[in-house]
Structure 1
């Protein structure tokens, strides 16, 4: 990922702080206590799945577990439960790996499928706004908060998970980690290795929940009204 105007920005920031910019001698502190690493420490994947499933209920998100062989049938059932009609999804190599084209062949012919196409620009957002269902894969999944992490790029716009009426996240079990601590560590590790990391990363914990008005809970105030997480055993 290219970084532009870094020196200009940091020099200006240092000037606002009333001191010279430090370019060396900065040492990362070593903290004596690191409680963030102790939560769910030592738990295996099955224990994390249980935590994740329970949290899905708390955030008003449907949880379904399946395997790769049965994903097609499960996905078709969820899509039909949302009424089908129109679907938008990213251009993702996992679409083919997990058999999504075969799944879409099982749907009614009047179900419109749109794969994000960066060459048509803002038209993708208009399609997402009209879509009934958005479907994505989770890149990192947080058990503690039932949060899916999405790495966006030109083939995967943010609108896919934000603008449709309903949202489906396909979650490979291997993406499951205890909490945000491990997700941040994975991202930092990618950066340290020089891997290309998305400049925009979304953390989604089910449909929006708001109780601002007289403490009455309303689900789906902004973004999708309903969400389903499909955990796939690999």
Structure 2
């Protein structure tokens, strides 16, 4: 369903009036900035080089990073979940799990090991939140990954609840190598391109940088105040 903007003209007219001028409806151009340093950071870096930058940053944000191929992905994911103490596990409902060969692990292997897996289900409403609250591990997929800051970008939709990434005690994000870009600049450009191409951009975009951190009190860093206390990024060689 496409939304509509209410009272836009009245709102913009009121702003112009407060500025002491008439509202402009045309002749406004985007500034052509002489200097754009944001485009120069890691410019020309290869995907392998971006992975190395991401590795270094993950060490700074208390996040484990594993690099694997599709063949070994089930083993690496299973090992990470085991290292976090097993289930319950909650994940998005995403066809990419099947495409990457994870069904034998997630839908059979874990069941045989008594590791409970809950898949996000739009029809169950608030039950999804309850399941996320009791889960030990949450698993999602990064749509865009910022090498410079070690940030994964998640698009929320009906099958991809945002609580999967922050209510469980620990968090695992699957990171396609192809999703890695230098920094926020390129992430914003990618989403703008999606918009111009007529593709739907999620109304809720989450930028997550490792486990929960807070240094608000006396500048002392505390991990896990309002989210997972541990996080692992599993980079998948998909190029």
Q: Same fold (TM over 0.5)?
A: yes
* TM-score, structure 1 as length reference: 0.95
Distance apart, 1:68 and its partner CA: 0.5
Match of 2:2 in 1: 2
Distance apart, 1:10 and its partner CA: 4.4
> Could you tell me how far apart the structure 2 residues matched to 1:208 and 1:109 are?
29
Match of 1:146 in 2: 150
For residue 71 of structure 2, give the secondary structure of its aligned residue in structure 1.
helix
> Could you tell me how far apart the structure 2 residues matched to 1:16 and 1:30 are?
24
Query: Is the alpha carbon distance of 1:225 and 1:10 closer, same or farther for their aligned partners in structure 2, counting shifts above 3 Å?
Result: farther
1:12 pairs with 2:15: no
Distance apart, 1:86 and its partner CA: 0.6
Runs of 5+ consecutive residues of structure 2 not aligned to the other structure: none
Instruction: Give the conservation status (yes or no) of the 8 Å contact 1:136–1:161.
Output: yes
Match of 2:42 in 1: 40
For residue 69 of structure 1, give the secondary structure of its aligned residue in structure 2.
coil
| Structure-to-structure mapping, 1:123-138, within 5 angstroms | 123-138=127-142
Match of 2:75 in 1: 73
For residue 229 of structure 1, give the secondary structure of its aligned residue in structure 2.
strand
Match of 2:200 in 1: 196
> Where in structure 1 do 4 or more consecutive aligned residues deviate above 6 Å?
none
Match of 2:235 in 1: 231
Instruction: Give the conservation status (yes or no) of the 8 Å contact 2:212–2:226.
Output: yes
For residue 232 of structure 1, give the secondary structure of its aligned residue in structure 2.
strand
| Structure-to-structure mapping, 1:175-190, within 5 angstroms | 175-190=179-194
Distance apart, 1:25 and its partner CA: 1.9
Runs of 5+ consecutive residues of structure 1 not aligned to the other structure: none
Instruction: Give the conservation status (yes or no) of the 8 Å contact 2:16–2:23.
Output: no
Match of 2:85 in 1: 83
> Could you tell me how far apart the structure 2 residues matched to 1:116 and 1:183 are?
26
Q: Of 46, 53, 58, which residue of structure 2 is paired with 1:51?
A: 53
Instruction: Give the conservation status (yes or no) of the 8 Å contact 1:88–1:116.
Output: yes
For residue 30 of structure 2, give the secondary structure of its aligned residue in structure 1.
coil
Q: Deviations over 1:171-199 (max 9, x none)?
A: 01000100000000000000011111111
> Could you tell me how far apart the structure 1 residues matched to 2:81 and 2:24 are?
54
Distance apart, 1:20 and its partner CA: 4.4
Query: Is the alpha carbon distance of 1:10 and 1:51 closer, same or farther for their aligned partners in structure 2, counting shifts above 3 Å?
Result: farther
Distance apart, 1:17 and its partner CA: 3.8
For residue 106 of structure 1, give the secondary structure of its aligned residue in structure 2.
helix
> Could you tell me how far apart the structure 2 residues matched to 1:9 and 1:109 are?
56
Match of 1:208 in 2: 212
Alpha-carbon RMSD: 1.4
Match of 1:222 in 2: 226
Distance apart, 1:216 and its partner CA: 2.3
Q: Greater shift after overlay, 192-201 or 8-17?
A: 8-17
* TM-score, structure 2 as length reference: 0.93
> Could you tell me how far apart the structure 1 residues matched to 2:79 and 2:217 are?
35
